[in-house]
Amino acid sequence: MRLTIGIAAAMSLYAMLATAAETIEACRSVASVSPPAADMPTVNDRNRLRNCASIDLYYGLANKQADARDARLCAYIELAQGEQSLPTQGAGMLMTIYANGSGVPRNAQLAKHFACLIEWQRDGIERLLLNIDEHAHTGKPVGVCDVAPFWPADDICSGYEEAIETQRIAGEQHAIASRWSASRRDAFALLAKAADVYAHRRESAEIFKNDRPARMDSIRNQFRRELLDAIKALDAPAGLPTRDLAALDRDLNAAYRTLTKAVERAHAENSDVYDPLTPASLRAAELAWLRYVDSWQRFRAAEYPQTSPERLRALLTEQRLAALRAVREEFHLDSYWPDA
């Protein structure tokens, strides 16, 4: 048994060393690859793009218009300033731009050159190089965060991924609203106010104060997806749930009571740890949800009278039930959970 484990460990170590050696050799083979002079920023570009963020320009984040050319120029500026250790700037963005052929001819060798400049562990660089090769066969876009890096880059990647998701949701919602009449948009504006209040109350009750920003953005996006799903369901009622509403209401009431008891127990032991989650904040979120549901029903009655109010309520109840269940995991409440 000991001999078998020793051989397995030795083989694993050998494979790791061989892979590392292959990665080093692959990076050495592209070390001298240079970008075309025409791709580099001019003095005017450097002045125009002072304090830019290439990832914002590439993906159209932070209220910026997506512009692959300016993203490339900005990434070179970042690289010249020594900002190449993170995948969301400098070398990481240039890898993405040349791998995908974004505003420039696709250049896998140049993409690999920049991938090798990112200050990551070797296994991360290896995965990036494989992604670039895979793109040539599948056409799947190469992203700046295709490899989960170590902290703090992982938090930055998560944050940008959530920002991209926020933008996607907003774009899809705008596309739907653009087909609405003016009166329907006005009616939805009233619903949106109730949605904002509910979202704020949820943040107070459901986001752990020590969460990193990317986690907070993830929870906020979950609510945005819920809102979008409800909008889409009214346009396509076949997507509304058919589950018995009375059973859903019983499940929701039970989940709320149980969660409240767990939060009471948690606060009795560690009140400062669990703030702002309290029984009172849970109650405020629940009341805001009820007003949110009422606003949805008024919107449905005015604009989608053919849609069943029970089925819309069932969808909103399913969403709320999932949100309450997620709080247990978010706040690590298992040790305070009441016995069944």
Separation of alpha carbons 232 and 305, rounded Å? 15
Can you give the pLDDT at residue 150?
52
Separation of alpha carbons 14 and 112, rounded Å? 25
3-state secondary structure of 120: coil
Preceding omega of 152 cis (within 30 degrees of 0): yes
Separation of alpha carbons 245 and 297, rounded Å? 15
In this prediction, what percent of the chain has a pLDDT beyond 70? 88
Can you give the pLDDT at residue 113?
94
Do residues 122 and 107 make contact, with C-beta atoms less than 8 angstroms apart? no
Separation of alpha carbons 42 and 150, rounded Å? 34
Separation of alpha carbons 3 and 5, rounded Å? 5
Separation of alpha carbons 185 and 190, rounded Å? 9
Q: Which of 295, 319, 186 is nearest to 240 (CA)?
A: 319
Q: Kindly report, residue by residue over 24-47, the tens digit of the pLDDT.
A: 899 999 999 999 999 999 999 999
Q: Kindly report, residue by residue over 193-204, the tens digit of the pLDDT.
A: 999 999 999 887
Can you give the pLDDT at residue 84?
60
- Specify the higher pLDDT residue, 161 or 90: 90
Query: Which segment of 116-125, 164-173, 208-217 scores lowest on mean pLDDT?
Result: 208-217
Whether 23 shows a pLDDT value over 50: the answer reads yes
Do residues 246 and 315 make contact, with C-beta atoms less than 8 angstroms apart? no
Query: Which segment of 20-34, 145-159, 160-174 scores lowest on mean pLDDT?
Result: 145-159
Can you give the pLDDT at residue 183?
94
